[in-house]
Amino acid sequence: MEEIIKNLDEERIKIIENMEETGGEPAVIVIEDTIYIMNLAPESPKERRNLCYDKKAREERKDFPPESSVEEEVEKLGSKLLEEDLYKKVQDIEDLDKKTSSWLKTEESLRKK
């Protein structure tokens, strides 16, 4: 990973630092000749739990709304949510979410159902 980090731009290095600061375990994965840097912690870090999906859902929650949402936290990190197909490929490499669940990118049309 150190060799790859040497070749990253400042924006990507900052994303890795942000992931580590919030309890993540960034790792380098190559899937279909594409390099990804993503969190491979066996559980979601405590700092990233108890969130709604987006700001709208958070603001509409009447009882005990969380302080933030997944989309807001991902934006702070400067990162992106995984889409389902990539998540499944990562699961083939690393067994994740044994005790917690990951948020995946979900289209608005699906969320309205």
pLDDT in tens, 18-61: 888 888 888 888 888 888 888 887 778 777 778 888 999 899 99
59 inside domain: yes
Alpha carbons 57 and 85: distance in angstroms, whole number: 24
The pair of structure tokens assigned to 81 is 């949510």
- 65-88 pLDDT tens trace: 898 999 998 898 888 898 989 988
Residue 37 lies in a domain: yes
* Position 39 in a domain: yes
Please check whether residue 102 is in contact with residue 44, taking contact to mean a CB–CB distance below 8 angstroms. Answer: yes
113 within domain boundaries: no
| Whole-structure pTM value | 0.75
Structural domain span for residue 41:
2-100
Percent of the chain with pLDDT over 90: 8
As for how many domains the chain has, the answer is: 1
- Looking at the domain assignment, is residue 111 inside a domain? no
Domain membership of residue 109 (yes or no) is no
